[in-house]
Amino acid sequence: MARLGVNIDHVATLRNARGGSEPDPVAAAAIAELAGADQITIHLREDRRHIKDRDLHILRQTVQTRLNLEMAATDEMVEIALNVKPEACTLVPEKRAELTTEGGLDVRLHQEALKPYIEKLQAGGIIVSLFIDPDPDQIKAANKVGADYIEIHTGSFAEARDWKEEEEELIKLENAVKLARKLDLGVNAGHGLNYVNVKKVAAIGGIEEFNIGHSIMSRAILVGLHQAVRDMSELVRYA
């Protein structure tokens, strides 16, 4: 049975929009866990645009399941991870100008730079996953640098423009899972998965964990809006 990692970065984005303290990602993490999340996933970006160091430190103390820290492979981030000790670190590429993580990590190109970081994290008892495109060369490179897991970037599948393209992308995902399993790499998946397209990816089998953020938070706003408006409506009416 696959695990669900709930990415709560968007809760922090909303909080930061007003510079205040709500909604608190720590509260969101607790609710996600109560609802059955197997893991809380957060991305501490170099520019701290959503999750802040404060969130990471409090979540380390409050998360009851597993904490998965997405981060760039840099000295600063590896030091933070070794200090905070999340159960897992997912290494992702990071560009300041991007809206979200746009592509997978080029493990082939950056093998030499990545290896010492991976080894340091593993020596600290942290599981290391590499966020990569479903590309056989990247999977082989991830194996070569000693990663425990890969997280397959499902963005190209999610953004397919028609059923034919979607089918082609799904086959790439299937082949990627097969190759990774053959190499004894654990397989996670994420990015752009929603309440419609996740079923096809989950049906592939062999994927241990899904990390999903945007679609869950989007749905939370819509399914929660009714109650939120009712609550406020009562306050203004009957005060």
State the nearest-atom distance from the C-beta of 180 to ligand PXP, in Å: 15
What is the nearest approach in angstroms of ligand PXP to the Cβ of residue 229? 26
Catalytic residue among 43, 50, 94, 153: 43
The residue behind tokens 């490179």 is 141
Rounded to the nearest whole angstrom, what is the least distance from the CB of residue 216 to ligand PXP in the complex?
A: 7
**Where are any strands of DSSP class E within the chain?**
3-7, 39-43, 67-71, 88-91, 127-132, 149-153, 186-190, 209-212
**43 catalytically annotated:** yes
**Pick 79 or 98: Cβ nearer ligand PXP:** 98
Give the residue with the Cβ less far from ligand PXP, 43 or 66.
Answer: 43
Question: For binding to ligand PXP (CB under 6 A), which residues are involved?
Answer: 7, 9, 43, 70, 90, 92, 100-101, 131, 151, 190-193, 211-215
Distance from C-alpha of 52 to C-alpha of 229, rounded to nearest angstrom? 29
Check if 57 is active-site: no
CB of 194 closer than 8 Å to CB of 157: no
Query: Catalytic residue among 10, 33, 70, 94, which?
Result: 70
Nearest-angstrom CA–CA distance, 161 and 157: 9
Q: Is 83 or 100 the residue whose CB approaches ligand PXP more closely?
A: 100
CA separation for the pair 65, 46 (Å, rounded): 25
To the query of whether residue 94 is one of the catalytic residues in this protein, the response is no
Residues catalogued as catalytic: 43, 70, 191
